[in-house]
Amino acid sequence: MWKYNAFWERIPFSVARTVLSIVLLIVLWGLLAWPWLSGQVTIPFDSKTYNLPTTAIALDQISDGTPPFWNPLLAGGAPLLSDPQALIYSPLYLALMGAGDYYTSNWLDIVQLLHVLVGGLGVFFYCRQQRLPMAAGVAAALIIMFGGMMASRMQHTSIIVAFSYTPWALLSLHFLLRERRMWWAIAAAICLSVLALHFVQVAFLFGLLLIIYVVSTVVTAPESEARWEKLKYALVAGLASILLVTTPTLLVLRHVSLSTRTHITFDMAATAHAIHPTTLLTLIAPNALGTLTSGNYIGIEDFTEQYLYSGVLVASIVLCALIFSIFQRHGRILFWIAVAMFSLFYALGKWTPFFKFFYDFIPGVALFRRPSDAGFLFLFSIAMVVAHFLGSIGVYCDALRSKKVYWIAVAIPLILTASIILLAVNDGQWGRFVDFVTIFYFLLFFIFASGIPILVRHHPIFVASNSFIVIVVLAIAVDLFAHNVNRSMNATNW
């Protein structure tokens, strides 16, 4: 007699498990996105004041059989094809908008949130190709879809849409470098081109990340012949994508003089649109700056740009992963932690000396005015850290057999939490951001970050099971729903 359970355990990456995980991901996306999907609220600010009318103009022209070359309603007339924010080169966005009533706010929200889902599915499939547990891929996808700046910056439609393509660009490059086939070079070129044609800083930063990813993969290839093959196909994809984006890029650059921001000075970028150091509190305490309470924001600059919360449990896992990767030299976790650190240094602008170096020596940085956009790269990197940690938790169990590692893993969250509280008590500037609610979240952070190594050490079988990861997924979903959904930074009733 066929034994279903035996068959299930023999095939860890079966079609059944994949489908079930995708269904779970879609259901969780639907639950978290429901306030917007149902029309109860709408995404405010730039999404409606700029993207909605611009898209309607372009689709009206297309439906009339006229090429969408000109926007007659912007400043007395402006070239639509040269507008980097018009999403005129975003094929899925235009197709979905044209399939419904593109004059309505709710349809734009639905299309934007469908892109959020597309990005989450891309992250899930990338995690699957990394041989990570299915539930770890769902956890990473949830963080990508509704964590940090993905939640707070929903108004910036072009950035959200561009961000949805980043995991697919990474996934296509992964297949290209592994399989070394021409059709994967074509797929990678298309994904890279579509990502680049959104003309936002998020696409630029991910382009830098993808270059580093290709170089590291080629350099670490075990054989010289394999290195040459990987490099050859990567160059083919890169050159093809450059050819595809050349004409639109020239059109955009040709009309830069018509922009209100023809030159981005260092002070303009590094000061006005960087995240403030106090924003780091929101990694653990979501409302430390009053971001979630309408009218009570006490931070600096735009409140939608000063928000990094993806869950107190997520922050705890990232800290545990950092400690684990240092002792175990886990290359992939260390890589994504390095990306996260680069992202933070970039996003902090003038508050560290690093952004000045980036501005002066990395070509292209001076074209953009908002260092805080690096928060999207930070979000992606911590999602990857969480996924890889959950996939390596069995090795973490082995590492914690060492009493030295165990006590360090338990003590560091205590030291970090105590330091933040003492800083708040003794420093008036920081003290005004740390109230009893914020301290409560830091205590939760301490409990989770210290509790994970304790749980791993004393219950290794349970922690290494899929049940534990599913519990983590559901906890992340509840946390994101409670703090990042239907808030003043991303939802309004008008």
Q: What is the pLDDT of residues 324-351, one digit of tens each?
A: 888 887 889 999 999 999 999 999 999 9
| Confidence tier at 428 by pLDDT (50, 70, 90) | low
Per-residue H/E/C for the chain: CCCHHHHHHHCCCCHHHHHHHHHHHHHHHHHHHHHHHCCCCECCCHHHHHHHHHHHHHHHHHHCCCCCCEECCCCCCEEHHHCCCCCCCCHHHHHHHHCCCCCCHHHHHHHHHHHHHHHHHHHHHHHHHCCCCHHHHHHHHHHHHHCHHHHHCCCCHHHHHHHHHHHHHHHHHHHHHHHCCHHHHHHHHHHHHHHHCCCCHHHHHHHHHHHHHHHHHHHCCCCHHHHHHHHHHHHHHHHHHHHHHHHHHHHHHHCHHHCCCCCCCHHHHHHHCCCCHHHHHHHCCCCCCCCCCCCCCCCCCCHHHCCCCCCHHHHHHHHHHHHHHHHHCCHHHHHHHHHHHHHHHHHCHHHCCHHHHHHHHCCCHHHCCCHHHHHHHHHHHHHHHHHHHHHCHHHHHHHCCCHHHHHHHHHHHHHHHHHHHHHHHHCHHHHCCCCHHHHHHHHHHHHHHHHHHHHHHHCHHHHCCHHHHHHHHHHHHHHHHHHCCCCCCCCECC
As a whole number, the mean pLDDT across the chain is 89
pLDDT at 75 over 80: no
pLDDT at 325: 87
Residues 391-406 have pLDDT tens digits of 988 888 777 778 888 8
Q: What is the mean pLDDT of residues 85-93?
A: 92
> DSSP 3-state assignment of 133?
coil
Residues 94-114 have pLDDT tens digits of 999 999 999 999 999 999 999
pLDDT at 2 over 50: no
pLDDT at 8 over 50: no
Q: How far apart are CA 42 and CA 48, in angstroms?
A: 9
Contact 147, 163 (CB under 8 A): no
| Confidence tier at 421 by pLDDT (50, 70, 90) | confident
| Confidence tier at 1 by pLDDT (50, 70, 90) | very low
Residues 341-388 have pLDDT tens digits of 999 999 999 999 999 999 999 988 988 889 999 999 999 999 999 999
Residues 278-329 have pLDDT tens digits of 899 899 999 988 889 877 888 888 899 999 999 999 999 999 999 888 888 7
Which ranges of 255-373 does DSSP label H, i.e. alpha helix? 266-272, 312-328, 331-347, 354-361
Q: What is the mean pLDDT of residues 413-423?
A: 81
| Confidence tier at 13 by pLDDT (50, 70, 90) | low
- Bridge partners of 374, per DSSP, are none
pLDDT at 3: 45
Q: What is the mean pLDDT of residues 2-18?
A: 56
pLDDT at 430 over 90: no
| Confidence tier at 6 by pLDDT (50, 70, 90) | very low
pLDDT at 424: 66
pLDDT at 459: 87
Q: What crossing angle do the helices spanning 354-361 and 331-347 adopt, rounded to 10°? A: 90
